[in-house]
Amino acid sequence: MGRAVQFGAWVSAEWETMRTLYEAHADVPAPISRTDNCILMTHVGDEEESAPVLANVSLERDEAEATLRRIMKNVELFLANDLVHADLSAFNILCWDGVPTIIDLPQAVDARTNPNALMLLERDLRNVYKYFSRYGVAADPARIANDLWRMYKRGRL
């Protein structure tokens, strides 16, 4: 019984996170409906194929730069809505028709209350930039995370 309650709370938290981010126009699947143990959301892909995870996609340099910019806008949008994904990587981003869609949100944390939010944000950025380093993108994820965190704390996101 305890596991069912815990799982239901997990589903409920992911549902609320998805709704918040979707309503904020983040690149996440549209949440459609939920039960105590599952979430129905829009399919990313077409009728014949699902979108692959970014880790399995090869991009042209200009596509990579545009995709990274869009992902970073989403990271900022998450933070502007008091959220940090907390497990973001090229394995939790789908890519379809040049558009990234961020998935796997049950572990997202509230940046206002989680004492590890900045560390998790930095880890998310480190993981994202690790993927994009194959395209020659050089960055300092710790500096970027700290800059974003400062803007967030000052209400500038």
Residue among 27, 46, 82, 87 flagged as catalytic:
87
Residue among 97, 104, 124, 147 flagged as catalytic:
104
Known active-site residue 124: no
Cβ-Cβ contacts under 8 Å for 118 (sequence gap 6 or more): 145, 146, 149
Known active-site residue 104: yes
Q: How many residues does the chain have?
A: 157
Side chain identity at residue 83, one-letter code: L
Two tokens, residue 118 = 């900045």
Q: Are 77 and 71 in contact (CB under 8 A)?
A: no
CA distance 13 to 57: 30
Burial call 125-144: b when 16+ CB within 10 Å, e when fewer:
bbbbbebbeebeeebebeeb
Active site residues: 87, 104
